[in-house]
């Protein structure tokens, strides 16, 4: 497969199914942001963290490729197979969301209850988690925006929402594991 095709030299790109759109199209922005998120998750995975977290993050990265494929396919190019949209069967399913929820619950059992918002930071690895969380929230907002124009699978939006929660709790857990200070945000009075 050749890396450069020159087909995008005039500011357009092809979606799955061949439809060409401008590179600043909201659909491109949606899956491009998911790709950015995936790269930040790779950065977290490259840190000195527990192998369990690394394995979960590999699973997340795999799911994000599926999310990207779903977002890169316009609804008119999606085909039904056995009464179900083909791409929705690729691998984003309720158990993927349940995995994130279970991981959140397990991590929270060992953490102090939150009484305040926390300031991002304390350790480079924790900061990477917070950056990924922010990019995930942006990906979710863009997917919702896209959904206002063209239908987006509800499970994609749910997955991104839960993933941002997971990344926040992972940041808190890594702060604890790395003995990093978790600075509470206390508003001025």
pLDDT tens, position by position, 51-86 = 999 999 999 999 999 999 999 988 776 655 545 555
Q: Do residues 175 and 122 make contact, with C-beta atoms less than 8 angstroms apart? A: yes
Q: Do residues 180 and 122 make contact, with C-beta atoms less than 8 angstroms apart? A: yes
Q: Please, which contacts does 88-93 make with residues 24 or more away whose CB atoms are closer than 8 Å?
A: 88/153, 88/155, 90/66, 91/62, 91/63, 91/66, 92/63, 92/66, 92/67, 92/153, 92/155, 92/156, 92/159, 93/155
Q: Which fold has domain 21-103+115-182?
A: Hypothetical Protein Ta1238; Chain: A; (1.20.1200)
Q: What is the pTM of this model?
A: 0.89
- In angstroms, the CA 116 to CA 184 distance is 6
Q: Please, which contacts does 78-87 make with residues 24 or more away whose CB atoms are closer than 8 Å?
A: 85/153, 87/153
What is the per-residue pLDDT for 97?
A: 97
User: Hey, is 156 helix, strand or coil?
Assistant: helix
Q: Do residues 71 and 152 make contact, with C-beta atoms less than 8 angstroms apart? A: yes
- In angstroms, the CA 95 to CA 59 distance is 12
- In angstroms, the CA 128 to CA 40 distance is 7
What is the per-residue pLDDT for 9?
A: 76
What is the per-residue pLDDT for 146?
A: 96
Count of H helices and E strands in the chain? 5, 6
Percent of the chain at pLDDT above 70?
89
- List the domain boundaries for the chain: 21-103+115-182
Q: CA 49, 42, 150, 74: dihedral to nearest 10 degrees?
A: -140
pLDDT tens digits for range 118-149: 989 999 999 999 999 999 999 999 999 999 99
């Amino acid at each position: 497969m050749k890396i450069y095709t020159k087909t995008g030299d005039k500011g357009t790109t092809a979606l799955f199914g061949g439809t060409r759109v401008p590179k600043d199209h909201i659909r491109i922005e949606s899956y491009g942001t998911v790709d950015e998120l995936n790269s930040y998750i790779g950065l977290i995975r490259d840190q000195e963290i527990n192998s369990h977290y690394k394995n979960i993050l590999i699973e997340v990265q795999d799911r994000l490729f599926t999310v990207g494929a779903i977002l890169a396919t316009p609804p008119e190019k999606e085909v039904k197979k056995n009464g179900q949209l083909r791409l929705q069967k690729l691998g984003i399913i309720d158990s993927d969301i349940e995995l994130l929820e279970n991981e959140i619950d397990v991590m929270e059992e060992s953490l102090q209850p939150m009484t305040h918002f926390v300031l991002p930071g304390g350790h480079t690895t924790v900061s990477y988690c917070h950056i990924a969380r922010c990019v995930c929230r942006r990906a979710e907002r863009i997917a919702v925006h896209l959904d206002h124009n063209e239908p987006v699978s509800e499970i994609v939006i749910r997955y991104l929402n839960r993933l941002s929660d997971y990344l926040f709790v992972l940041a808190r857990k890594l702060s604890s594991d790395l003995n990093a200070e978790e600075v509470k945000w206390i508003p001025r009075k």
